């Protein structure tokens, strides 16, 4: 599994938000074709890779009993937040604490002073970067774990299991991973994304999410003759951002607490645009948050006596909890599988989104399971080998339990 993972991270698969194609970057299709070839070499069935980079395959059932068809899903792209080119991983064996020097020339250090979770992995083997790229455990660890679990089941025919489908998709990091996912063709009763972080994570709640684009139309005249005439759109934009509740920002919230998060301000005196995201786990509170942004915009228009500002608020995804709760046995099975793998389940809400949320509302209940990566999207990303092994065996035990139950 580790050799497989180290091979995968060397594929450059960074996705791109401004692309008009699927996948958004050609490297993702290169990686998909390599995976397709590997799946063929393993003797899997019903292997398909479509023009959009969605790769599906089947491990047939080894039982004649009626067993639900389940799926395991991971994404092939890595985040555009950090370079994914020329990834150079290495293994720190038997980590004993303290700083890990990633690059001596530039003094790039992975330290428990900044990342105290390192202390949870004393005595383990950590795969790290050279400090100049992300690692790509998000989500190539998930891919390696899924394929290795399938290989394990092939090597252990005494483990009875039903039909298992695997799916690898592009562009999750730019929010488009599920958009062209053919749920009907995937053909599962339910599935799991292997895209969580720390060992034991099991997530079936996520934010309700919306984006907001506030356009402010100013009035520009020569600054020397501007008194009583100019309306500086940049100043209005700055005032708008400053009026957002400070205590309801990402840096001030945790757990189930929602937030407003301005992501960019751009423009000139004549016209400015503020982009922000709105998040909350509770649906009613989420609706109130969107209404609050609209009231702020209405207040600007009332203040200036004209249509200075407009708001374009767009829903992005919803909390999958409402889809999962009627089929909570999919969570019970995952918890029992983790226990069999020597893992204590940690059920928590995702402070973000997941392909599984969108897939759940597309008719495929799909909670999220840990893959092991830490410090995603950064040069400080790492993954413990032992966590990957436990994730792999969790997949094996899920397949086993579904057949047993």
Three-state DSSP state, 251: helix
Cα distances from 257 to residues 221, 296, 317, in angstroms, run 43, 21, 17
Q: What is the C-alpha separation between 328 and 321, in angstroms, rounded? A: 10
Please state whether the peptide bond connecting residue 139 to the residue before it is cis, i.e. omega within 30 degrees of 0.
yes
Angle between helices 137-155 and 26-41 (to 10 degrees): 10
Residue 363 CB coordination number (10 Å):
11
Choice among 36, 172, 173, 205 that is catalytic: 172
Rounded Cα gap, residues 206 and 103, in angstroms = 36
Could you list the beta-strand ranges (E) of 37-133. Answer: 45-49, 55-59, 70-75, 90-92, 100-103, 108-110, 126-128
The CA distance from 283 to 330, in Å, is: 23
Active site residue 106: no
Q: Contact, 177 vs 171, CB < 8 A?
A: yes
Distance of alpha carbon 70 from alpha carbon 400, whole angstroms: 11
For residues 73 and 142, what is the distance between their CA atoms, to the nearest angstrom?
Answer: 8
- In this structure, the number of other CB atoms found within 10 A of the CB of residue 274 comes to 24
Can 172 be counted among the known catalytic residues? yes
Q: Give the 3-state secondary structure percentages of the chain, helix then strand then coil, rounded to 5.
A: 35, 25, 40
Measure Cα distances from 332 to 95, 279, 305, 402 in Å: 33, 28, 57, 11
User: In angstroms, rounded to a whole number, what is the distance separating the alpha carbons of residues 10 and 231?
Assistant: 52
Active-site pick, 12, 36, 77, 138: 77
* CA proximity to 70, closest of 3, 140, 138, 163: 163
- Sign of torsion over alpha carbons 392, 396, 397, 398: positive
Which residues are known to be catalytic? 77, 172
């Amino acid at each position: 599994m580790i050799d497989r993972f180290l091979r995968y991270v060397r594929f450059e698969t960074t996705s791109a938000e401004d692309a008009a194609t699927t996948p958004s970057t050609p490297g993702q299709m290169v990686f998909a074709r390599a995976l397709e070839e590997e799946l063929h070499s393993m003797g899997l069935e019903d292997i398909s890779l479509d023009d959009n980079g969605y790769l599906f395959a089947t491990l047939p059932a080894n039982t004649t009993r009626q067993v639900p068809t389940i799926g395991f899903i991971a994404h092939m792209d890595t985040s555009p937040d950090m370079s994914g080119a020329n990834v150079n991983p290495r293994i720190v064996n038997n980590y004993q604490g303290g700083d890990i020097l990633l690059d001596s020339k530039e003094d790039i250090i992975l330290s428990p002073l900044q990342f105290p979770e390192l202390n949870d992995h004393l005595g383990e083997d950590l795969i790290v970067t050279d400090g100049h790229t992300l690692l790509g455990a998000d989500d190539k660890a998930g891919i390696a774990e899924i394929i290795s679990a399938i290989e394990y089941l092939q090597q252990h025919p005494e483990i009875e299991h039903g039909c298992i489908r695997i799916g690898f998709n592009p562009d999750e990091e730019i929010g488009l991973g599920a958009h062209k996912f053919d749920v009907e063709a995937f053909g599962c009763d339910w599935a799991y994304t292997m895209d969580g972080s720390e060992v034991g994570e099991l997530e079936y709640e996520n934010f309700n999410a919306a984006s907001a684009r506030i356009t402010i139309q100013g009035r520009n005249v020569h600054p020397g003759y501007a008194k009583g005439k100019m309306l500086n759109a940049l100043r209005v934009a700055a005032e708008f951002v400053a009026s957002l509740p400070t205590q309801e920002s990402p840096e001030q919230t945790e757990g189930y607490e929602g937030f407003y998060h301005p992501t960019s301000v751009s423009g000139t005196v004549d016209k400015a645009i503020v982009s922000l995201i709105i998040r909350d786990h509770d649906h009613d509170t989420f609706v109130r948050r969107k209404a609050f942004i609209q009231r702020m915009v209405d207040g600007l228009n009332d203040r200036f006596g004209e249509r200075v500002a407009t708001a374009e608020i767009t829903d992005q995804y919803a909390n999958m909890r409402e889809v999962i709760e009627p089929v909570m046995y999919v969570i019970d099975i995952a918890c029992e599988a983790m226990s069999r793998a020597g893992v204590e389940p940690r059920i928590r809400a995702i402070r973000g989104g997941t392909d599984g949320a969108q897939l759940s509302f597309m008719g495929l209940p799909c909670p999220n399971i840990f893959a092991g990566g830490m410090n995603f999207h950064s040069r400080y990303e790492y993954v413990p080998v032992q966590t990957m092994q436990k994730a792999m065996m969790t997949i094996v035990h899920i397949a086993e339990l579904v057949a047993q139950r």
